[in-house]
Structure 1
């Protein structure tokens, strides 16, 4: 079967023939892969800075933001049947019996760092025609989300960040007393850094949670990303025309910053302006460290203002469930905006161009099967 793979030693990306999988365990399911999103991690892997093939292979099949259709199930499968749409989990548990996180299926918090990740680290990914995997790592999605379900996995990043925000902020009376149960962020202000897929999906999640949401990104309006932000009820501010200081004056007290840039200079500048009892969520991983932030000043502000700064990567079952729930809400509330997040769908033959960043827009998706 066909697959898109990188060959790290020869530094090449190829459309290859890859062995077809077969069910070998009662709890396994066979998936026909439908779509795979291309993200910054895939593009970084294609610069050959990281990305590890499975043992015994000289190549790594790419792709981790995936949507598949169940075509066959093992005799012990209970939750799934042929025809179901599923989103597979990316990260898999390590083998260390002392890893408390992996022992309870929270491999997104693995203590050892010896986890594997589909399409990233020691496991072939989903940019291929068929995949066999265990039922426990499958997340069913309703058929009505077929056209946008591939956005679930990037959305899990925002969902995990929000789950951690709510858990951490139980340390103080952070929520407004009159905030509705379904809008716990009502009356609080959030600033989203960047306007890529993770930032835009995060903005939608914040708005659904009730936050007064601002998106601070480079593009100068009029611009499609700015228009999308405005269409969902957030406020767009360009970092090219508005300084951080002026952005803060416009926003007022910042309760939450959700970073989706992947660079450190702007986030650390914005961190200087966090409000009291605020929280800062990092989701991006810089390629190079460029920050010149003075650590003494940073520590003084963190301690003096009771702030929390945390990094988050990957996601657990709770974040996947939240992502599927919210994606359904997004499509009902902002159908055109959600559809516009996917800028183009390309064939496997054009996947290499997508991986090398030759397509513009917000999100490129590789179509594996119709």
Structure 2
């Protein structure tokens, strides 16, 4: 069968293998026919040789962690042939740590987790794949064209779960949300904010292309000005760029008792002249919270599946900039300026 693979740590080793072995039974009881995988920044880093780890005893890694497929078989009977599913990316560590032991593997404390297509587990960019039943998430049949968005949606579902848990430390009545960055994570974060009935603002550098229209279609307000030029203080901020100045600016911009969730990952190596003492004073005296969030557990995947099922399917499909057949796999991993989400299509 076909599989898109890399040699981890080796730049430009991307290859479509035509004779990759069928998924082994020990990978899981649920056998899935791949429909598509989404491509994200993590994939680009792996292709560049900056990241990634092959399974023990293997030199190459099948990439792809934003999955969509149809069930071929499930011996437990919990899923039926033809069901639309996505595979959960992260698995708990084998020790396990206290969090992994109770199903909160997104909060793994010892770093011994594994991840499909990223760390020590082959990914979903192959014609067929297997997962254990509890790591297969059933999707609404109407998501057949956009279900690969479940993985990034699970990330923001977790972010909102934690925001709301923190918010209820006191009487909490948020009104406004600021999302910085209008990539897939930012737009999906804005979607979940709009589903909560909040006043949603999205800030991004782009002044043309599809991003402003996608934001307006949610009933949200689009901004392309510096954070400090905004004329309101958001109750909630979801920072999705990882840009150091934006990260610092949103910490200062949040309203009293505000919550700032950092989902963007900074590259590091850049210093900024900044008054850390003033920031500390503001955070303490205004009871603000800043926290980081990454990955998701089964609870968040299920919340994400519900959110996508409620969303406008035309809007979701508009997030997909390009659908590339697996035979032209290199095009899928070559970014274009106006790309939001690129999909590698195994069903074409």
Note closer, same or farther for the CA distance 1:21–1:336 as it changes in structure 2 (3 Å cut): closer
- Secondary structure in 2 matching 1:128: coil
Q: Which residue does the alignment assign to 1:108?
A: 106
Q: Which residue does the alignment assign to 1:215?
A: 202
Q: Which residue does the alignment assign to 2:291?
A: 310
- Secondary structure in 1 matching 2:327: helix
**Alpha-carbon offset, residue 139 of structure 1:** 0.6
Q: Which residue does the alignment assign to 2:228?
A: 245
TM-score, normalization by structure 2: 0.95
- Given candidates 226, 231, 241, the residue that maps to 2:212 is 226
**Alpha-carbon offset, residue 312 of structure 1:** 0.6
**Alpha-carbon offset, residue 10 of structure 1:** 4.2
Q: Deviations over 1:300-322 (max 9, x none)?
A: 22212111111111101221111
- Given candidates 113, 128, 131, the residue that maps to 1:130 is 128
Tell me if structure 2 keeps the 8 A contact 1:70–1:80: yes
**Alpha-carbon offset, residue 326 of structure 1:** 1.0
Q: Which residue does the alignment assign to 1:19?
A: 21
**Alpha-carbon offset, residue 119 of structure 1:** 0.4
**Alpha-carbon offset, residue 87 of structure 1:** 1.1
RMSD: 1.7
Q: Which residue does the alignment assign to 1:180?
A: none
Tell me if structure 2 keeps the 8 A contact 1:89–1:139: yes
In the alignment, the residues of structure 2 paired with residue 62 and residue 314 of structure 1 have an alpha-carbon distance, to the nearest angstrom, of 17
Q: Deviations over 1:21-69 (max 9, x none)?
A: 24358x6111111110001111111111111111111111100000111
In the alignment, the residues of structure 2 paired with residue 234 and residue 340 of structure 1 have an alpha-carbon distance, to the nearest angstrom, of 16
Q: Structure 1, unaligned stretches of length 5 or more?
A: 176-184
**Alpha-carbon offset, residue 358 of structure 1:** 4.2
In the alignment, the residues of structure 2 paired with residue 147 and residue 315 of structure 1 have an alpha-carbon distance, to the nearest angstrom, of 22
In the alignment, the residues of structure 2 paired with residue 78 and residue 168 of structure 1 have an alpha-carbon distance, to the nearest angstrom, of 38
Q: Which residue does the alignment assign to 1:179?
A: none
Q: Which residue does the alignment assign to 1:181?
A: none
Report how many residues are paired. 345
**Alpha-carbon offset, residue 9 of structure 1:** 5.1
Q: Which residue does the alignment assign to 1:5?
A: 5
In the alignment, the residues of structure 1 paired with residue 82 and residue 26 of structure 2 have an alpha-carbon distance, to the nearest angstrom, of 20
TM-score, normalization by structure 1: 0.89
In the alignment, the residues of structure 2 paired with residue 359 and residue 82 of structure 1 have an alpha-carbon distance, to the nearest angstrom, of 39
- Given candidates 248, 265, 270, the residue that maps to 1:268 is 248
- 1:299 paired with 2:280, answer yes
**Alpha-carbon offset, residue 267 of structure 1:** 2.0
Q: Which residue does the alignment assign to 1:61?
A: 62
Q: Deviations over 1:308-349 (max 9, x none)?
A: 111111101221111111111112xxx332210011110112
In the alignment, the residues of structure 2 paired with residue 9 and residue 361 of structure 1 have an alpha-carbon distance, to the nearest angstrom, of 25
